[in-house]
């Protein structure tokens, strides 16, 4: 038995998210079907975590057990030749049998892309949230400063989540604004709750538009009430950028 660790990139626009759910078209299911086609084995892919419908990944990590003695590079080429064009395996490496893509993840880095420009984009519109109007970047940075560290992130947890422990650690963040109007928000955390990045970014934009005062953020977090924070940013702007082990 071998345990292979993979990293993969995907355009989530056409998928119902990562996780297999019956007959729904998901990244996990598509991967498993292609791997089974090539290896003629029943394969169960373990992702580092789920991504929502419409969310993309630049470097998702996963692992799976196989018995076939096929070389990693040969398998990589074979699987990329059968995967649809919106999913690509970037690397395959042999891991120890104990490696588990979800349990062993130390942190994840998400990237959210905003186009802050009067006119909506046409090229690359699948990969960005169009936000017209002036945004106060200093106020948005202040919000991220409040989130840094270990906190209960219930106020940013999507409804319907069954997770009880909502304490997570935001390890780092950055906002990079370009003259083109592109704003890239990067957040690294020990783990993320359901819709957490999208709820944080939705709140950032409401603070940037002065609909919420940045000074209210500590109280919103302490209140642990999702309804007090901003709305959920759309999925297309979100990318799982890296999983750190």
In sequence order, the β-bridge partners of residue 47 are: 62
Task: Give the interface size with a copy of itself as a residue count (CB under 8 A).
Answer: 23
Q: Which of 4, 6, 11, 168 binds a copy of itself (CB under 8 A)?
A: 11
Q: Residue 154 and residue 224: Cα distance in Å, rounded?
A: 5
> Is 136 in the active site?
no
For position 106 contacting a copy of itself by CB under 8 A, the verdict is no
Do 239 and 9 meet the contact criterion of CB atoms below 8 Å apart?
no
Interaction mask 23-62, a copy of itself, x per CB under 8 A: ---------------------------------x-x----
Residue 89 interacts with a copy of itself (CB under 8 A)? yes
Taking the complex as a whole, the smallest distance from the CB of residue 162 to a copy of itself amounts, in Å, to 30
Pull the structure tokens for residue 216: 């209210």
Binding status of residue 10 toward a copy of itself by CB under 8 A = yes
Q: What is the rounded CA–CA span in Å between residue 205 and residue 183?
A: 11
- Token pair 């690294």: residue: 188
Report the alpha-carbon angle 129-134-137, nearest 5.
80
Between residues 1 and 123, which has the closer beta carbon with respect to a copy of itself?
123
Per-residue burial over 206-229, b if 16 or more Cβ lie within 10 Å, else e, is bbbbeebebebbeebbeeeebebb
Q: Residue 17 corresponds to which tokens in the numbers above?
A: 């998210």
CB of 90 to a copy of itself, least distance (A): 5
Does residue 144 contact residue 187 with C-beta atoms inside 8 Å? yes
Q: Is 70 in the site for a copy of itself (CB under 8 A)?
A: no
Residue 239 to residue 9: CA distance in whole angstroms: 10
Q: One of 11, 52, 104, 152 is an active-site residue; which one? A: 52
Binding-site member from 43, 87, 109, 207 for a copy of itself (CB under 8 A): 87
Q: How far apart are the first and last CA of the chain?
A: 22
Q: Which is nearer to a copy of itself, 25 or 120 (CB)?
A: 120
> Which residue(s) pair with 150 in the sheet?
169
Tokens 């799982």 correspond to what residue?
240
Q: Report the nearest approach of a copy of itself to the CB of residue 9 (Å).
A: 4
Per-residue string for binding with a copy of itself, 117-136, x by CB under 8 A? --xxxxxxx-x---------
In the complex, minimum distance from the CB of residue 217 to a copy of itself, in angstroms, rounded to a whole number? 31
Q: Which stretch binds a copy of itself (CB under 8 A): 3-11, 41-49, 101-109, 210-218?
A: 3-11
* Enzyme catalytic residues: 52
Residues that bind a copy of itself (CB under 8 A): 8-11, 56, 58, 76, 80, 85-90, 119-125, 127, 239
């Amino acid at each position: 038995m071998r345990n292979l660790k993979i990293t993969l990139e995907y355009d989530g626009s056409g998928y119902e998210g990562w996780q297999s759910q019956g007959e729904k078209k998901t990244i996990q299911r598509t991967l498993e079907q292609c791997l089974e086609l090539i290896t003629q084995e029943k394969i169960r892919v373990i992702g580092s975590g789920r991504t929502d419908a419409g969310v993309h990944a630049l470097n998702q990590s996963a692992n799976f057990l196989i018995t076939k003695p096929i070389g990693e590079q040969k398998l990589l080429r074979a699987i990329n030749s059968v995967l649809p064009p919106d999913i690509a395996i970037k690397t395959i490496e042999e891991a120890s049998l104990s490696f588990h893509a979800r349990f062993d993840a130390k942190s994840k880095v998400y990237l959210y892309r905003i186009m802050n420009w009067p006119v909506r984009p046409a090229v690359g519109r699948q990969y960005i949230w169009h936000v017209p109007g002036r945004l106060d970047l200093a106020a948005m940075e202040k919000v991220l400063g409040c989130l840094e560290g270990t906190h209960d992130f219930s106020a940013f947890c999507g409804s319907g989540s069954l997770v009880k422990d909502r304490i997570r650690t935001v390890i780092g963040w950055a906002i990079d604004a370009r003259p083109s109007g592109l704003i890239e928000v990067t957040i690294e955390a020990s783990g993320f709750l359901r819709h957490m990045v999208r709820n944080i970014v939705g709140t950032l934009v409401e603070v940037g538009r002065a609909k919420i005062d940045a000074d209210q953020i500590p109280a919103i977090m302490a209140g642990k009430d999702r309804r007090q924070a901003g709305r959920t940013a759309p999925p297309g702007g979100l990318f799982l950028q890296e999983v750190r082990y």
